[in-house]
Amino acid sequence: MERLNAFFANNRALIYFVGGLSFFSMGLASALQRRRFSRLRLARWLGLFAGFGILYGLNEWGNLFVPLQERLPLPTSATRLAVLQLVARGLGMALLFQFGVELLRPPGKGGRAWRWLPGTLVLLWGAGLLYLGIGAGAPHDLILSTGDLLARYLLGLPGAVLSCLGLLEQHREVREAGFPGIAGYLLGAAVSLAFFGLVGAILAVAGPFFPGEWLAYPAVLYAIGVFVPILRALDGVAMALLIGRALDVFEVEAEALFAEVERRNLLLADRERIGRELHDGTIQSLYAAGLRLEDAYHTVLESPEEAQRKIRGVMESLNQVIQEIRAYIFDLQQMGTQDSLVRRLTDLVSELRLNTLLEIDLRIQGPRCPVPPERAVQLYLIAQEALSNVVRHARARRVSVRLDFDADLLRLTVKDDGCGFSPETVLGERRGMGLNNMRERAVLLGGQLHIDSRPGGGTCVQVEVPCLCQRTGDREVAGHGASPLADPDRG
């Protein structure tokens, strides 16, 4: 036992330094990670936990400096430093208590009473110490030991228990949100807080009342052979590591929120596009059919045969509109599937080859990788719009569709040998709606759309977007049409 005591005495400074550094670092990291936009209650009250870590770290370092001050000729400086250490310990544990209360406090008026409990206990703790010092004239050692035990048992122990339960609740929410790895770190942090309730609150220095005499450091050292500050330092290191990893939940949550915002922006853009296309296409066709029916109505008495011919034409137009709407709905349904981008482009090119006289060359190059469904949908719609423009306006014979998987870019190129046009002129007119739609989609994907065309010189439409996918191996597929694509489900 004497050797063990000698070992701890020789390394006491290092033990307290490591313990203080771990708690202080944990508090500083928590303060830097404090977020207000998070949906987790942990983020809203993380500042309280940061304050606990910083103040308790200063308290641990006080165990280094108070003995040094006692060796100086002025004993009052050591007493003042010991008082500051006690204040840091008490306030730190009070912040931990408040942190646990806020994590578990029920919403509404029913939880307001719990919010005032830690502050009330701090006031009673401070008032009791002032009475001992001023009213009763108790010696400094008695005031410090009494204040230490009261801080541990009134503030530290319930604070550790409530904070442990609060982190367990956050663990459940994070796990249900789909982040089991981070939830595991929160569970570990909760366990470390429970252990802190033992080594940081229950086991204390010797005090004037029960259970301080039985659970003081010398008694525990004699019983289990381990110096309590070592356990507290190890717990502080574990808590700092676990809390540091658990705070990654804010980054993961921010990424999920960003993806949700991007998805909603794409949906809003799709709604606007659908509205424009319905207004410019379907509604205009229905309006024209109505005018033709009105014309047939006025001619039905004068020329029944002419009226019948006009009505048949209107019926054919309405049937065409119905087919367009059905095809449009079918395309929208297909957009929600998990088919690959390469598969969609292959089907699109095959359909155009079947229904038009165009010679279309499809070429896929670069290391193939799965493209996220949302991005695949937008790239497919850009290709669909570009090829639709070729069919309707270009009067081309040959079209080249190329998809390049580069290191950090995904490049889609549609090039034809048609009549070409002036991009500046078309974009400034109403008929440039499709080009504007393609440009808006490229911007939403964080990329750019380039249009190279001139009258009589063909057209090249190219979109470049960041490649947010994982590589599955180097592979290059090239050729004419769908035949070279041996595995169209990849890409």
Q: How much of the chain, in percent, has pLDDT values that exceed 70?
A: 80
Which pLDDT band, with edges at 50, 70 and 90, does 476 fall under?
very low
Nearest partner of 393 among 325, 313, 461, 464, judged by Cα: 461
Which pLDDT band, with edges at 50, 70 and 90, does 287 fall under?
confident
Tell me if residue 360 falls in helix, strand or coil.
strand
Average pLDDT, the chain: 79
Q: With 50 as the cut, is the pLDDT of residue 133 above it?
A: yes
Is the pLDDT higher at 320 or at 196?
A: 196
Tell me if 468 is assigned to some domain. yes
Counting the structural domains of the chain, the total is 3
Mean pLDDT computed over 469-478: 42
Q: With 90 as the cut, is the pLDDT of residue 488 above it?
A: no
Tell me if 256 is assigned to some domain. no
Q: Name residue 364's beta-bridge partners.
A: 403, 477
Judge if 323 and 282 occupy the same domain: yes
Q: With 70 as the cut, is the pLDDT of residue 35 above it?
A: no
Tell me if 77 is assigned to some domain. yes
**Strand-pair category, 359-365 with 398-405:** parallel
Which pLDDT band, with edges at 50, 70 and 90, does 155 fall under?
very high
Q: Residue 281 maps to which CATH number?
A: 1.20.5
Which pLDDT band, with edges at 50, 70 and 90, does 166 fall under?
very high
Q: With 50 as the cut, is the pLDDT of residue 489 above it?
A: no
Q: Report how far residue 267's alpha carbon sits from residue 261's, in angstroms, rounded to the nearest whole number.
A: 10
Q: Report how far residue 7's alpha carbon sits from residue 51's, in angstroms, rounded to the nearest whole number.
A: 33
Q: 338 is written with which tokens?
A: 């998990």
Q: With 50 as the cut, is the pLDDT of residue 481 above it?
A: no
Exposed, middle or buried, 166 (CB in 10 Å: 0-12/13-18/19+)? buried
Q: Which residue has the tokens 């983020």?
A: 43
Domain end residue (candidates: 277, 310, 335): 335
Residue range of the domain that includes 304: 263-335
Is the pLDDT higher at 169 or at 106?
A: 169
Tell me if residue 462 falls in helix, strand or coil.
strand
Give the pTM. Answer: 0.55
pLDDT of residue 483: 32
Which pLDDT band, with edges at 50, 70 and 90, does 402 fall under?
very high
The string of DSSP letters for 126-180 reads HHHHHIIIIIS---HHHHHHHHHHHIIIIIIHHHHHHHHHHHHHHHHHHHHTT-H
Angle at 350 between CA 344 and CA 353, to 5 degrees: 140
Is the pLDDT higher at 233 or at 159?
A: 159
Q: Residue 168 maps to which CATH number?
A: 1.20.1070
Which pLDDT band, with edges at 50, 70 and 90, does 472 fall under?
very low
Q: Residue 407 maps to which CATH number?
A: 3.30.565.10
Q: With 90 as the cut, is the pLDDT of residue 58 above it?
A: yes
Judge if 346 and 295 occupy the same domain: no
Angle at 107 between CA 104 and CA 111, to 5 degrees: 70
Judge if 97 and 194 occupy the same domain: yes
Q: Which of 31-35, 338-342, 450-454 has the highest mean pLDDT?
A: 450-454
Q: Name residue 404's beta-bridge partners.
A: 365, 411
Nearest partner of 375 among 434, 446, 277, 327, judged by Cα: 446
Judge if 199 and 63 occupy the same domain: yes
Domain end residue (candidates: 335, 363, 385): 335
Judge if 82 and 231 occupy the same domain: yes
Judge if 390 and 316 occupy the same domain: no
Is the pLDDT higher at 432 or at 26?
A: 26
Judge if 344 and 327 occupy the same domain: no
Buried-state track 395-431, b at ≥16 Cβ within 10 A, e below 16? ebeebebbbbbeeeebbbbbbbbbebbebeebeeeee
Which pLDDT band, with edges at 50, 70 and 90, does 87 fall under?
very high
Task: Identify whether the C-beta of residue 151 lies closer than 8 Å to the C-beta of residue 204.
Answer: no
Q: Report how far residue 379's alpha carbon sits from residue 347's, in angstroms, rounded to the nearest whole number.
A: 14
Q: With 50 as the cut, is the pLDDT of residue 272 above it?
A: yes
Tell me if 257 is assigned to some domain. no
Judge if 394 and 478 occupy the same domain: yes
Tell me if 254 is assigned to some domain. no
Peptide bond between residue 211 and the one before it cis (omega within 30 degrees of 0):
yes
Tell me if 394 is assigned to some domain. yes
Judge if 221 and 369 occupy the same domain: no
Q: Report how far residue 155's alpha carbon sits from residue 166's, in angstroms, rounded to the nearest whole number.
A: 16
Q: Name residue 204's beta-bridge partners.
A: 216
The number of residues in the chain equals 491
Judge if 7 and 126 occupy the same domain: yes
Tell me if 236 is assigned to some domain. yes
Tell me if 255 is assigned to some domain. no
Q: Which residue has the tokens 């165009």?
A: 358
pLDDT in tens, 112-124: 778 888 999 999 9
Main-chain phi, psi angles of 414, to 5 degrees:
-125, 115
Q: Which pairs with CB-CB distance under 8 Å and at least 24 residues apart come from 62-71?
A: 62/88, 63/12, 63/16, 63/20, 63/229, 64/13, 64/16, 64/17, 64/20
Judge if 117 and 180 occupy the same domain: yes
Q: With 80 as the cut, is the pLDDT of residue 238 above it?
A: yes
Judge if 100 and 237 occupy the same domain: yes
Element (H, E) at 453: strand 448-453
Mean pLDDT computed over 154-173: 92
Which pLDDT band, with edges at 50, 70 and 90, does 107 fall under?
confident
Q: With 80 as the cut, is the pLDDT of residue 95 above it?
A: yes
479's torsion region: left (phi>0), alpha (psi -120 to 50) or beta? left
pLDDT in tens, 332-350: 655 544 457 888 888 888 8
pLDDT in tens, 181-225: 888 889 999 999 999 988 888 876 555 555 555 555 555 554 454
Which pLDDT band, with edges at 50, 70 and 90, does 37 fall under?
low
Task: Identify whether the C-beta of residue 364 lies closer than 8 Å to the C-beta of residue 491.
Answer: yes
Tell me if residue 460 falls in helix, strand or coil.
strand
Domain end residue (candidates: 335, 370, 399): 335
